[in-house]
Amino acid sequence: TEEWLVKARYKREDVPSWIEYVHQLQNWYYWNNRQKELIFNK
């Protein structure tokens, strides 16, 4: 686990990719909810 901590600390400079990952997650949730709404409204 210590090796992972070192990697995580090093990765903190690689923030943009993490932000991009979070945005993708948010987009996926949003899209999923939209699909459910569309199905329910039919």
pLDDT in tens, the chain (42 residues): 678 767 666 666 666 777 888 888 999 999 988 888 877 776
Q: Which domain holds residue 16?
A: 2-41
pTM (2 d.p.)? 0.43
Q: Can you give the pLDDT at residue 39?
A: 74
Q: Can you give the pLDDT at residue 26?
A: 92
Q: Can you give the pLDDT at residue 1?
A: 62
Q: Which residues contact 11 (CB under 8 A, 6 or more apart)?
A: 18
Q: Can you give the pLDDT at residue 40?
A: 76
Q: Can you give the pLDDT at residue 14?
A: 63
CA angle 36, 29, 10 (to 5 degrees): 170
**Total number of domains constituting the chain:** 1
